[in-house]
A = this chain, B = another copy of it.
Amino acid sequence: MHRFSPAMDALIEALRCLPGVGPKSAQRMALHLLERNREGAATLSRSLADAVERVGRCQQCRNLAEAVLCGICADTRRDASLLCIVETPGDILAIEQAGGYRGRYFVLMGHLSPIDGIGPEEIGLPLLEALARDGEVQEVILATNPTVEGEATAYYITRMLEPLIPRMSRIAHGVPLGGELEYVDGSTLAHAFSGRQPVPGS
């Protein structure tokens, strides 16, 4: 079967490391770059090399960082007594974009998944425990995903930190604001019912 050329074929294969990119889209992407946007391709090549070289993990919260501390941990205006535990750096971005939270984060970079060999060590829990023992953190907000694994991870962390942290909470899960009940999936609805809050004044 005819392919394009060695360098094109290698590029198409390499593009498949991107999530959600199959053989057909990889081919479409490679052709687009080579036919129409060589400057973009060169920039992307440099950006990838730069990011791989420069981006590591924050030594305090495991967030992606280009220095010992990430931008949030290095920001002294953030409230160090408040710690929000999330699964990924993308979750931090979502929370920051929502606004209103002024504490710090701890990034698990995943969740407990014994079947995949991901235990407490792999998601940085020894580092989290050491941080909690420092005594600066007074409140922990568990913001892992409302999935089976996210819930199990939140439960495990709650048990681990209970002796060390005065206040711990789990973010509320339920029907999204502006969402229509009719279009919300069943497990979210079940969650919204079991987590119902008393109406003020009722």
The interface of chain A, by Cβ under 8 A from chain B, is 1-8, 10-11, 13-15, 17-20, 24-25, 27-35, 37-38, 40-55, 64-66, 70-72, 88-90, 92-93, 96-97, 109, 182-183
Contact = CB atoms under 8 A, between A and B. Distances in A.
Contacts of A8: 51, 55, 64
Given A11-B51, A52-B38, A90-B28, A2 B96 contact: yes
A143 to B, nearest CB: 15
Contact of A90 (B31, B53, B64): B31
Q: What's the number of copies of this chain in the assembled complex?
A: 2
B42 A7 contact: no
Q: Which A-B residue pairs are the 5 nearest by beta carbons?
A: A17-B40, A45-B48, A14-B47, A2-B96, A14-B44
Contact of A5 (B2, B4, B25, B71): B71
29 contacts: A3-B93, A4-B93, A5-B64, A5-B71, A6-B66, A7-B47, A8-B51, A10-B50, A11-B47, A11-B51, A13-B47, A14-B46, A14-B47, A17-B43, A17-B44, A18-B18, A18-B29, A18-B44, A20-B28, A27-B90, A28-B90, A33-B51, A34-B64, A35-B109, A42-B49, A44-B45, A45-B45, A45-B46, A45-B49
